[in-house]
Amino acid sequence: MTNSGTSAAPFDVLLDRLRDGDEDAACELIDEFGDAVRREIRFRLRDSRLHRVVGDSDVFQSVVLRFLWGLRLGKFDVTSPEQMRGLLRKIAQRRVCRAARFWGAQRRDVKRTGDVADASDTALIADDPTPSRAVSEKELIAATLARLPQHTRQMLQWRQDGMGWAEIAERLGGTATAESARKQYERAVAQVTGELGLEDFS
């Protein structure tokens, strides 16, 4: 595992490879930041009742998929290993919180759960594009991109080329501002994720 002193250039290269869907880069991501994410998950699952129905590995897979999906769609601005680590931990917190809300809403008595594996799947896969729904991360991204309007895909390309929202606004012309360009893009992505039933995929 590399240390937190990873230089900026290799980190930027890793981000580019992740955006391109490089599977080896995804493995490197897990090698570099996986331990920190797993520690966060275990800490958040310290409630033994919740831990019985939500598995560490289920949450971890969900975190990685959400990060890769969001990065490919330009939802995340990550500029350093430290920021990456913090973002992944935040996503992990959200996933555990969602699982906890699920069980609270369902008013399930964990002590009476007969099949822990099935219960865990229900909590985490209800809105999740996991292998149990036969949708791979690549297929999910392809489906999302295919539904985006052409001008939104162009904005995504500019983002992947490293442009900030102010520069994108200049490219758009007219009365566009950095804020309006960002909101326009986010609205388009939100509409598509809603159509695909992925509102919580963030």
Domain boundaries, the chain: 8-131, 148-202
How does pLDDT run across 163-192, given as a tens digit for each residue?
888 999 999 988 889 999 888 888 888 777
| pTM (predicted TM-score) | 0.62
- Dihedral of alpha carbons 160, 164, 168, 171, sign: negative
Angle between helices 23-44 and 56-72 (to 10 degrees): 130
Q: What pLDDT, on a 0 to 100 scale, did the predictor assign at position 118?
A: 46
| Interval 95-130: pLDDT, tens | 888 877 776 665 445 455 554 444 444 444 444 434
Q: Which of 189, 105, 180 is nearest to 144 (CA)?
A: 189
Residue with tokens 């769609």: 73
Query: How many angstroms separate the CA atoms of 36 and 52, rounded?
Result: 22
CA distances 86 to 17, 25, 57, 151, Å, are: 20, 19, 19, 31
Measured CA to CA, the distance from residue 145 to residue 124 in angstroms comes to: 24
DSSP annotation of 114: S
